[in-house]
Amino acid sequence: MRSTWRRIADPVLSVASILALTLGATACSTSSEKSDELLIYNAQHESLTKEWIDAFTKQTGIKVTYRQGGDTELGNQLVAEGTASPADVFLTENSPAMAAVERADLFADVSADTSKQVPEQYRPASGKWTGVAARTTVFAYNTTKLRPEQLPTSLLDLQQPTWKGRWGAPPAKADFQAIVAALLALKGEPATAQWLAGMKTNAVLYKDNIATLKAVNDGEVDGGVVYHYYWFRDQSKAKEISGNTALHYFGNGDPGAFLSLSGGGVLKSSKKQQQAQQFLQFITSKAGQEVLQNGTSYEYPVASGVPANSALKPLDQLHPPVVDPSDLDAKKVSDLMTAAGLL
Ligand SMILES: [Fe+2]
């Protein structure tokens, strides 16, 4: 695993690949602009967005198509395409890609009808996009290798020599990079660079959250930094990668308690502003958020007062640090992680 992930992961798109994506998108835009269908650039998990689309189309009759990709990939693509993008809506797993598109000034304001459904702490102050779901950072640990009193108190503890070779994480994934972005926003560059150097020394690197959780479950490492929903999904099935593990929530406003907002926004260049806003309003409505409560994503609802799936630790007990999601800087994180030898 350690030897192969580097070849798979390439979070920074080369100029050539951005150009290729842009040309691909341009070729597609003709057909999508002709039709009445909304086009989503979807970096959220495909199954969740499909559930949202089906429910939205059923309620409104508006057809929706999507292009699937990762946060970084589609965020970079939108920035490269600029106002020529065929996309109407952008959905992500995490906030940094939304913040990058916001910085390029490509989003329209989120409608007041949508904003009033989403409490302030679950959307950026700028009003350029909104949180549509949330995931919390957790430390998944092997219960035969660690007792509760041996758990780290803070994410920052994991840079200490005592944790050498004992924890894992997926550095190439946008999921994990969002956590580093929060660390950067909360503690600043020197502290983040230092923590990343500690991670380089101490952590075993995996290709994604699932591989990390599996390594914890197999006892390859004592614990791993992942998002909660990978654990809950596995627990709802055969517990193949989580049966020997439990979750530690850092809480306390710690960077390790970072609550990452999945984002939704309408592109300013969309020619279907009203329908695109309607989609955002729908996914943050009671019906849209109930897809999170009752579906198989195990992500947190953040809007319209819909509670989380009862299997989850309630949102109001997580005590995450306060971060404005528009401040999360994917580019700086990528630079720091590259400098630390993690990418
Ligand atoms: Fe994910």
pLDDT digit string, tens, across residues 239-252 = 999 999 999 999 99
> Ligand 1 mean position to 71 CA, how many Å?
10
Residue 163 within a domain: yes
Distance from the alpha carbon of residue 262 to the mean position of ligand 1, in angstroms: 10
In a domain, 272, yes or no: yes
* Cα 316 to Cα 327: distance, rounded to the nearest angstrom: 23
Residue 324 domain-assigned (yes or no): no
Residue 93, annotated ligand binder? yes
Residue with tokens 């065929």: 86
Residue 27 pLDDT grade (very low, low, confident, very high; cuts 50, 70, 90):
very low
CA of 74 to the centre of ligand 1 (A): 15
Rounded to an integer, what distance in angstroms lies between the CA atom of residue 17 and that of residue 313? 41
Q: Which of 251, 237, 250 is nearest to 311 (CA)?
A: 237
pLDDT, tens digit, for every residue of 204-224?
A: 999 999 999 999 999 999 999
Q: Which domain, by its residues, includes 210?
A: 135-258+332-340
Distance 321 CA to ligand 1 centre (A): 20
Residue 16: pLDDT above 50? no
Place of tokens 């920074």: 12
Give the pLDDT of residue 130: 98
- CATH code assigned at 166: 3.40.190.10
- Please check whether residue 7 lies inside any domain of the structure: no
* CA 130/CA 36 separation, integer angstroms: 24
30 in a domain, yes or no?
A: no
Q: What is the pLDDT of residues 135-182, one digit of tens each?
A: 999 999 999 999 999 999 999 999 999 999 999 999 999 999 999 999
Distance 259 CA to ligand 1 centre (A): 13
Q: Which residue has the tokens 């695993």?
A: 1
Q: Which of 15-24, 87-96, 107-116, 205-214 has the lowest mean pLDDT?
A: 15-24
- Please check whether residues 97 and 180 belong to one and the same domain: no
- 232 lies in the same domain as 268: no
149 CA distance to ligand 1 centroid (A)? 29
Are 141 and 242 contained in the same domain? yes
Cα 43 to ligand 1 centroid, rounded to whole Å: 9
**Which region, left, alpha or beta, applies to residue 81 given φ > 0 means left and ψ of -120 to 50 means alpha?**
alpha
- Tell me, yes or no, whether 243 and 279 share the same domain: no
Same domain for 213 and 336: yes
CA of 35 relative to ligand 1 center, distance in Å: 31
In a shared domain, residues 75 and 126:
yes
336 with 237, same domain? Answer: yes
The whole-number pLDDT of residue 20 equals 45
Q: How many distinct structural domains can be found in the chain?
A: 2
Protein residues with C-beta less than 5 angstroms from the ion ligand 1 = 175
Q: d(Cα 176, Cα 8) in Å, to the nearest integer? A: 16
In-domain check, residue 317: no
Q: How far is the CA of 23 from the centre of ligand 1 (A)?
A: 28
Residue 10 in domain = no
Contacts of 272 by beta carbon, 8 Å cutoff, 6+ apart: 36, 38, 88
CA-nearest of 309, 317, 301 to 122 is: 301
Q: Which residue has the higher pLDDT, 313 or 26?
A: 313
In a domain, 101, yes or no: yes
Residue ranges of alpha helices (H) inside 104-188 are: 112-115, 174-187
Are 71 and 147 members of one domain?
no
Positive/negative CA dihedral, 270, 275, 281, 287: negative
CA 93 to centroid of ligand 1, rounded, Å? 6
Burial category of 271 from C-beta neighbours within 10 Å (exposed 0-12, middle 13-18, buried 19 and up)? exposed
Annotate 160-183 with b (16+ C-beta within 10 A) or e (fewer): eeebeebbbbbbbbbbbbbbbbbb
Ligand 1 centroid distance, CA of 224 (Å):
15
228 has binding-site annotation: no
Q: Considering the chain, what is the average pLDDT of its residues? A: 92
Do 187 and 57 fall into the same domain? no
Measured CA distances, 50 to 42, 98, 296 (Å): 10, 20, 12
Same domain, yes or no: 126 and 275: yes
Is the pLDDT assigned to residue 265 strictly greater than 50?
Answer: yes
The closest of 233, 264, 287 to 52, measured between CA atoms, is 287
Contact call for residues 155 and 248 (beta carbons, < 8 A): no
Question: Was 45 annotated as part of a binding site?
Answer: yes
Ligand 1 centre to CA of 284 (Å) is 19
The one-character DSSP state at 150 is G
> Token pair for residue 309?
């799936």
